[in-house]
């Protein structure tokens, strides 16, 4: 069976919007390292713009029903944000 092509994307050269688009397109694929790299770059840019981790969590979790999908999102984003999955969930559910 042929091997999948290796992805090499210069995340620093992408716009914020394109970072999000590519991360969403590749979510759930075998390119987990690339998706994480895109997310890390986005978090760095948002922090540089003064957006807090709390605000990021609220935006990421907005409209996501609590359940299995929410738990997957919490697990995927928590480490990138320097939080535990439980901290991510607590922040997301705080009023």
Residue 8 has a pLDDT of: 72
Residue 7 has a pLDDT of: 64
Q: What is the pLDDT of residues 60-82, one digit of tens each?
A: 999 999 999 999 999 999 999 99
> Any idea where the domains of the chain sit in the sequence?
12-51, 53-95
- Burial level of 33, CB count in 10 A (0-12/13-18/19+)? exposed
CB 91 within 8 A of CB 83: yes
Q: What is the pLDDT of residues 4-43, one digit of tens each?
A: 546 677 888 888 889 888 888 988 888 888 889 999 999 9
User: CA-CA distance, 32 to 52, in Å (whole number)?
Assistant: 25
Residue 1 has a pLDDT of: 47
């Amino acid at each position: 069976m042929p091997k999948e092509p290796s992805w090499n994307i210069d995340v620093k050269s992408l716009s914020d919007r394109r970072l999000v688009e590519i991360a969403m397109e590749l979510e759930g694929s075998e390119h987990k390292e690339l998706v994480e790299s895109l997310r890390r770059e986005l978090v760095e840019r948002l922090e540089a713009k003064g957006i807090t981790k709390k605000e990021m969590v609220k935006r990421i979790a907005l409209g996501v029903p609590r359940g299995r999908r929410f738990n997957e999102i919490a697990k995927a984003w928590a480490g990138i944000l320097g939080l535990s999955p439980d901290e991510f969930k607590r922040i997301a559910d705080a009023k």
